[in-house]
Amino acid sequence: MLIAGSSVAVISGFTASITNSVNSVGSGALIMTESSGANTCVSSGSAVTSNTATCSTINKYGASTTAVPGTPISTTVTITDSGTIAANGFTLTAGACGQSNNGAFNGTDASFCGKVDVTIQESGKTACVFPASASAACPTTPTSAGTLASLSGTSPALTPLTVAAGASRTFVITVMLDSAATNADQGLLASQTLTWAFSS
């Protein structure tokens, strides 16, 4: 029986709790660095926006303007995942090959891109990236089996497609004016974009 005006004490039961005071999630960064000799290009600065860059200091075809038939020119480039997350996709895409005059004396061959042979070999790998061969390395001297014309618009397979954060892949790109080049191929210049790309 309760008596009017009296109070009753309420005794609570046992309790326990945990407050997680630090709960967060952050995004990683996928950044590409290309290097060749003393030259380096990076896809982004510290402020990441488009994360794409145009590199004019690394000429993967050697930049020679005095090439002669049968003499190969090689350039070594290293592609590094310099970000904090792995690239689960890795591609190389060649643009269209174009030609122009080189100097004051110019040949008349309108298919000069087809006279420049090219190979792409990944260091430490057996397979030739271009022209593609799954079981053999690229020939020491490029042949007409792979030219800048046949490379145009293609994306040669890079195996494996993944690049771990902090890891690098090195490629040797060799070009050579084909031994079948004639006087009509003198004084000409072939140019072509090559685009490396990572994806997560």
- What is the per-residue pLDDT across 147-170, written as a single tens digit (0 to 9) for each? 999 999 999 999 999 999 999 999
Q: Read off the DSSP letter of residue 3.
A: P
Per-residue pLDDT averaged across 25-45, rounded?
97
The rounded percent of the chain whose pLDDT value lies above 90 is 92
Per-residue confidence (pLDDT) for residue 20, from 0 to 100: 96
67-123 residue pLDDT tens = 999 999 999 999 999 999 999 999 999 999 999 999 999 999 999 999 999 999 999
Instruction: Give, for 150, the enclosing helix (H) or strand (E).
Output: helix 148-151
Q: In this structure, how many other beta carbons lie within 10 angstroms of the beta carbon of residue 97?
A: 22
How many whole angstroms separate alpha carbon 191 and alpha carbon 92?
A: 16
Task: For the chain, give every domain's residue range.
Answer: 32-61+69-199
Total-model pTM: 0.90
pLDDT recorded at residue 135: 87
Mean pLDDT of 15-31: 96
Dihedral sign for Cα 92, 95, 97, 100, please: negative
